[in-house]
Amino acid sequence: MNQLCNASKLTQILQTNGFESGEVTRVNPVSGGSINSAYAVHTRKERFFLKVNRADAYPQMFESECKGLELLAEHSQFVVPKPLFIAKHAGFAYFFMQYLTPERSHQNHFEFGVKLAQMHRASSSQFGLNHNNYMGSLPQQNQFADTWVHFFGQNRLEPQVALARDKGAIDAETARRFDAFYKRMPDLFPEEPPALIHGDLWSGNYMFTAGGPAIFDPAVAFAHREQDLAMTKLFGGFSPAFYRGYFEEYPVESGFESRVDAYNLYPILIHVNLFGGGYVGQLKEMLRNYL
């Protein structure tokens, strides 16, 4: 990978894609990514954020991420990194985008919650999206559906349960318990119009910048807005000010806390299929809450 991401090679890619003054002076690896290799690419005039992966392992991943970033920028007041271009070379895909600089002194969690609530008012006639994308490193279906229950079952839970069952990550009994859960879903989730959601909203996918809160690495769809809120609680929760800002701007129906685990069956299934281990026990415990 180092040979593919050295200054000379990246200069060539930048200049081939219209950045004539894109002579790269420094390339710094950026930590935090588990799927893609990430770099800060410095030229004499500017800095870029670069993601690299094997194009055959994750077909169309960067293309779908680019579309997701554009949707977030169009329908929200968040700072969203601007996609620049995607290049392919020697079996690798390169995704160049705007580099965002974190500013800890500009943290405003209340504003973050308000802006997420405002983004969730962007709607669509159906649940879904006009293209598929990824959740982590796993393909995510977005076939249109008229109801959240249909969309959540068909596009989110069923594919991941089938994958977990087929690879032996969960036993047949756990898979059968999902059949019982599907029957309960109409009574669990409040009916709401589709909302544009980030789709993978955990603490690693936002930051505060001088221009305000920023979001990135999306797994977007028009879905139930509580899916985003539930995801924020999966790994310890966000700041109380974040929830205060959100609920003041766009309250949810009563009983949300009792629904959190129902929504989070999906990201936990993703973790079961990627990592196994203790996530299997967590999945079974979450299911017990509804059966």
Task: Note if 179 is an active site residue.
Answer: no
The secondary element (H helix, E strand) that includes residue 98 is: strand 92-98
Select which of 56, 166, 179, 200 is catalytic. Answer: 200
Greater confidence (22 vs 80) lies with 80
The CA distance from 76 to 228, in Å, is 15
pLDDT of 32 = 63
Q: Give burial (CB, 10 Å; 0-12/13-18/19+) of 201.
A: buried
CB 145 within 8 A of CB 155: yes
Q: How confident is the model at residue 5 (pLDDT cuts 50, 70, 90)?
A: confident
User: What pLDDT, in 10s, does the model give residues 220-265?
Assistant: 999 999 999 999 999 888 999 999 999 999 999 999 999 999 999 9
SS3 229: helix
Residue-range domains of the chain with CATH? 3-98 (3.30.200.20), 104-288 (3.90.1200.10)
- The phi and psi torsions of 122 (rounded to 5 degrees) equal -70, 125
79-123 tens-digit pLDDT: 999 999 999 988 999 999 999 999 988 899 999 999 999 999 999
**Token pair 């059949």 in the structure block, residue:** 179
H helices of the chain, in order, are: 7-16, 61-75, 109-119, 148-151, 158-166, 172-188, 225-232, 240-249, 256-275, 278-288
